Amino acid sequence: MTKRIKVFLLLLLAVSLLSACQEKLTASGKPQVVRVGVFKNVTHAAAYIALEKGYFAREWGDEVKIEVTAFDNGSDLSIAMATGDIDVGFVGPGPATTFFLKSGNFRVVSGSNNGGAVLVARTGAGIQTVADLKDKTIAIPAKGNTNEISLRMLLQQAGISLGRGAENAHLIVRSPADTLISFRQKEIDATLVPEPWGTQIEKAGLGKVIADWKDIPPNHGDYPTVIMVASDKFIQRHRDIVKGAIKANMDGIAFIQSNPDQAYDLINNQLKKYSGKGMDKSLIKASLSRLKLTTDVDVKVMEEMAKVSIDARYIKGIKPEELDLSPFVDLSMLAEVKSGK
């Protein structure tokens, strides 16, 4: 049992002991505070627009205070969701699935975007195609995240195994920002990262994209990379608030699709707020051009990705043939919002 999992279980126990605490409500019965989790990443564009345009506040009312926490990775956000530290969150399916299978106390309620990751090879590394990744060192942003799952599937398609041998590909963890330094120092040969990092590497003259987002598995790039999750208790107590969050996310997607030029500045405002620095608009544009904004969630694709996590032993205690993520995905509220209920 890893240290992170031990900490998670202790936190979960602490939350269960405190579950009797009375939630503070407004006079109309709404929660006084709704805690929202996002990433410091442009792939969370729909959530950023919903925050910047006030869509959450519009749906929930002025009496509800919105507390936003920006996370660096999906594992931390998923732990915060499972332990009750946030009510609604935007996260990748990889870590969310892993921690759902441990806690079983939060659900996927909507999609937000699909795809958006690219495989970049370092200039001078002798890599032209995926088949050239044998005996090469490849960076991923975090262990067990969606990008690693995609990389494992991509390598498997090319008949390449991960390992230490000369015929294997070698895996290393580097944050997307650190990949620029690692490319310059020739520490790594390639990386599978979400945009805009691939475009940044290309613009710096350090590498080139050799597998665009539609070439990244599963499902030819059309796989969930950002989903909306909500805790079971919050859904039970405040279903209408969750539906409001789904509507805000939906309207954020619609705004970006209808007003892309306006959206770049608004997204950048949120990036500055939560990451401490903004981003060139051309990079935001490149990011949005390499993903599919959608509220749809394909459970079968999520299961395909989860089976890779099982094979990699990130998910334990369950066999691939036993996996069923249908209890994890509750799209009933999304359906109600779409039908105007």
Pairing type for strands 190-194 and 170-173 reads unpaired
pLDDT by position in tens, the chain (length 341): 455 555 554 555 455 444 445 678 988 889 999 999 999 889 999 999 999 999 999 999 999 999 999 998 888 999 999 999 999 999 999 999 999 998 999 999 999 999 999 999 999 999 999 999 999 999 999 888 999 999 999 999 999 999 988 899 999 999 988 999 999 999 999 999 999 999 999 999 999 999 999 999 999 999 999 999 999 999 999 999 999 999 999 999 999 999 999 999 999 999 999 988 889 999 999 999 999 999 999 999 999 999 999 999 999 999 999 999 999 999 999 999 999 88
What pLDDT score does 23 carry? 75
- Class of residue 322 by CB neighbours under 10 A (exposed 0-12, middle 13-18, buried 19+): exposed
CA–CA gap between residue 196 and residue 176 (Å, rounded): 9
CB atoms within 10 A of CB 69: 15
Taking Cα atoms as reference points, which of 164, 156, 116, 171 lies closest to residue 289? Answer: 116
Q: Which residues have CB under 8 Å from 329's CB, separation 6+?
A: 107, 108, 297, 299, 302
User: Could you give the angle at the alpha carbon of 162 between the alpha carbons of 156 and 163, nearest 5°?
Assistant: 155
Q: Which fold has domain 117-215?
A: D-Maltodextrin-Binding Protein; domain 2 (3.40.190)
Query: What would you report as the CA-atom Rg of the chain, rounded to the nearest whole angstrom?
Result: 20
What was the pLDDT predicted at 41? 87
Q: Which pLDDT score is estimated for 73?
A: 85
How many CB atoms lie under 10 A from the CB of residue 277? 8
Sequence ranges of the chain with CATH classification 3.40.190.10: 3-10+28-115+223-338, 117-215
For residues 321, 322, 328 and 334, what is the CA-based torsion angle, rounded to 10 degrees? 50
Name the region of 111 (left: φ>0; alpha: ψ -120 to 50; beta: rest): beta
The residue written with tokens 């919002």 in the block is: 337
**Residues 98, 91 contacting (CB under 8 angstroms):** no
Beta partners for 228?
90, 110
**In this predicted structure, what is the pLDDT of residue 18?**
47
CATH placement of domain 3-10+28-115+223-338: 3.40.190.10
Place of tokens 């070439």: 215
Whether the Cβ atoms of residue 198 and residue 209 lie closer than 8 Å to each other: yes
